Amino acid sequence: MKLYLAKPDITFFEQYKDMMKEWHSSGSHIAPWFLSKSVTSFDEFCKFIRMLDDCEHGIVDKRFSSTTSYFVVNNYGKLIGATSLRHYLTLEGFQTWGHIGYGVRPSERSKGYATQMLKMTIDQAREKKIYKLLLSAYEQNIASCKIIEKCGGILENKVYIKNKNEPICRYWINALENCFEK
């Protein structure tokens, strides 16, 4: 099924609650970063949407870079997951998580959606003139490493980050190369 990137807005409230309930009860890792924020009411969701828009426009703590956040929907408008694109690397971003994060809700996994989402986010990066992309995944996150490699990721190294006993794999993707099938 075809997927689309959508700018997060308040109309997603019910779907967002439903997706996050599913995610929390599965106990699986939550990504990208902004899905980990606690949102318990419509009022908080409105503030959350505002925060995402602020981040996109550089209104962020100086440790972080401006970031565009996307919800991902299918052609019925169902919320499938989310991706985020950091506009540049801070030192912390360079050493750890890089430019792009993504996640698919548990009930929609293993359908090729994450691969499709990463390709769409790389397209967005190219449009923003961000051509050299760093992506990271825990070594044991086999699915994520596979997705990055399928999208042209070249392994740079494996490093340990603070307070974690499992290394992350750091990959570079050249968004200028025609390195994956469109």
Is there binding between residue 111 and ligand COA (CB under 6 A)? Answer: yes
- Determine the Cα–Cα distance for residues 4 and 139; give it in Å rounded to an integer: 28
Is there binding between residue 34 and ligand COA (CB under 6 A)? Answer: no
Is there binding between residue 79 and ligand COA (CB under 6 A)? Answer: no
For the chain, the first-to-last Cα distance in angstroms comes to 15
**Closer to ligand COA by Cβ: residue 12 or 102:** 102
Site mask, ligand COA, residues 116-145, x = CB under 6 A? ---------------------x---xxxx-
Three-class DSSP category at 153: coil
Is there binding between residue 104 and ligand COA (CB under 6 A)? Answer: yes
The region of 10-18, 59-67, 102-110, 155-163 touching ligand COA under the rule CB under 6 A is 102-110
What DSSP line would sit under 73-134, residue for residue?
A: EETT--EEEEEEEESS--HHHHHTTBSEEEEE-GGG-SSSHHHHHHHHHHHHHHHTT--EEE
Task: Determine how many CB atoms are found less than 10 A away from the CB of residue 12.
Answer: 19
Q: Which stretches of the chain bind ligand COA, using CB under 6 A? A: 28-29, 31, 101-104, 109-115, 137, 141-144, 146-147
